Amino acid sequence: MSSIWNNRISISFFGESEGPAIGVTIDGLPAGEYIDPDEIRRYMDRRTPNSYKDENTRRTPLPRIMSGVTGDRTTGGPLCAFIQNIDRRPREERNDVSKLVRAGNADYTGAVRYRGYNDVMDRSSRAEKLTAPLCFAGAVCAQILERRGIFTGAHIAQIHNIKDNPYDKVKLDRDAVISTRYKDFPVINDRKGWLMLEDIAKAKEAGESLGGIIECAAVNVPAGVGSPIFDGLENNIAQLIFGIPSVKGLEFGAGFSTANMVGSQSSDDFYVDERGHVVTRTNNHGGILGGISSGMPITLNVAFKPVQNEGSGGLGDTCIVPKAVPCVEAAVNIALLSNMLDYPSFC
C-alpha cells in the first residue's frame, strides 16, 4: 500500500482512519513561503459544506504543524502536520465480520490483497478522513501558487441527472474560478444547487445514494509547464485525483466528447490576441498539450460513484460529491506546484 506521492515535491500520509491521529509530510517546498493558518482552516472547513452540517457535525481540528515552518514561514525542510482524530469509533466495533464485504466497497479486495490481516472496520488509506491531510497539503500549495497569480477552483458540475452551469473554458479568469469557493453549496447556479440538495434528500429517504461530477479549473498557469510521456502534467494530476476515495473517471478539456468530433472540430487553433498573448480560440485540449501546459485554462471533470448508503448518516453519507470539491482542488494544486518548481523564475 502506497501513501506516498513523489515528484519534485513529495506528499506522504500517515495514520489510520480510526487511529489516534492522521497526518501528512510535505517535502521539497521552497523556503521562506508565508503560510496563513486561518486560510488553511477555511480551506479544510469546506470538506463539510454548510448545507451538509447538522447538530452532529464535528469540526476537523486544525492540523498541528510539527516541523517545516518557523514564524509562519517555510524553512525548506519537511513540513509535517499532525491531525488528532476526535471522532474515533470504539475498537470493539471493528470486528463485525458481517460488514466484511459491502457492495461497492473495497472490503473484499482489501482482505484478499492483505491476506486477511487488515482490520475489518479499518478503512486505512481509503477512508474519507484521510482527505484531511490531502486538503491540508493542497491548501499549503494553493497559498504558494496564488502569490504567483495562479488560482484553482472547482464546483459541483452534476449530481445524479441535475447539471450546474459549466465554466467558460476559454474566457475563464480568477474571479470565475473562486466564485464558488466559500458558498454554502459550491455551484455556479444556486437554483440548480437547491434542486441537487432536494434530490440528495429524496435519495436519503429512499435509502439510496448518489454520485456526480466535479469540474475543476486552474487559471494563469504559464505555457511550458510539464513534461511529455510519463511525467506529463495530466499524468501527475491524474495520479493525485485517483487517490481521492470513490473517483471512477477523469477527463481533461472536452475529454470523451472528442470521440464524437472530427479533427477540425477538436483541434484548437492558435492566434495572438490583442495583448500579444498566444492563445487558442477553443479549449478542447483543456490547457494541456503533449503533457505540457499551453497557457490556456486547465480544465478537468472528475466523476464520483455513489457510495453505499448504510442508512445511518446524513446528507453527506448519501452523496459525497460536495465534500470532495476541495479535495479535487487540492490534488490539482499539489500537481501544479510540483511542476512549477522548475519553471524559470518561479521561486
What are the DSSP calls for 59-85, one per residue?
PPPPPEEEESEETTEE-SS-EEEEEE-
Q: Residue 64 has what pLDDT? A: 93
The set of residues, in sequence order, having a beta carbon less than 8 Å from that of 313 and lying 6+ positions away, is none
Spatial separation of the C-alpha atoms in residues 67 and 77, rounded to whole Å: 8
| Cell representation of residue 324 | 470532495
4-340 topology per CATH: Chorismate synthase, AroC fold (3.60.150)
Spatial separation of the C-alpha atoms in residues 116 and 222, rounded to whole Å: 48
8 A C-beta contact, residue 164 and residue 322: no
Spatial separation of the C-alpha atoms in residues 110 and 95, rounded to whole Å: 15
| Cell representation of residue 284 | 478542447
Whose cell is 495514520? That residue is 15
Spatial separation of the C-alpha atoms in residues 42 and 249, rounded to whole Å: 28
8 A C-beta contact, residue 265 and residue 297: no
Q: What is the pLDDT along the chain (347 residues), one digit of tens a residue?
A: 468 999 999 999 998 777 788 999 999 999 999 999 999 999 999 998 877 776 566 666 789 999 999 999 999 999 999 998 776 655 544 455 455 566 666 767 777 777 766 654 444 334 567 799 999 999 999 999 999 999 999 999 999 999 999 999 999 999 999 999 999 999 999 999 999 999 999 999 999 999 999 999 999 999 999 999 999 999 999 999 999 999 999 999 999 999 999 999 999 999 999 999 999 999 999 999 999 999 999 999 999 999 876 655 678 889 999 999 999 999 999 999 999 998 998 87
Nearest to 289 by CA among 252, 318, 320, 325: 252
Spatial separation of the C-alpha atoms in residues 127 and 121, rounded to whole Å: 11
What's the pTM?
0.91
Neighbouring CB atoms inside 10 A of 200's CB total 26
Spatial separation of the C-alpha atoms in residues 177 and 217, rounded to whole Å: 7
- The domains of the chain are located at 4-340
Q: Residue 213 has what pLDDT? A: 98
**Is the Cα dihedral 218, 252, 231, 226 positive or negative?**
negative
Spatial separation of the C-alpha atoms in residues 330 and 134, rounded to whole Å: 7
Q: Residue 119 has what pLDDT? A: 55
Neighbouring CB atoms inside 10 A of 62's CB total 16
Spatial separation of the C-alpha atoms in residues 191 and 216, rounded to whole Å: 20
3-state secondary structure of 253: coil
Spatial separation of the C-alpha atoms in residues 192 and 45, rounded to whole Å: 23
- What torsion, rounded to 10 degrees, do the Cα atoms 314, 319, 320, 323 define? -70
8 A C-beta contact, residue 131 and residue 327: yes
Q: Residue 71 has what pLDDT? A: 94
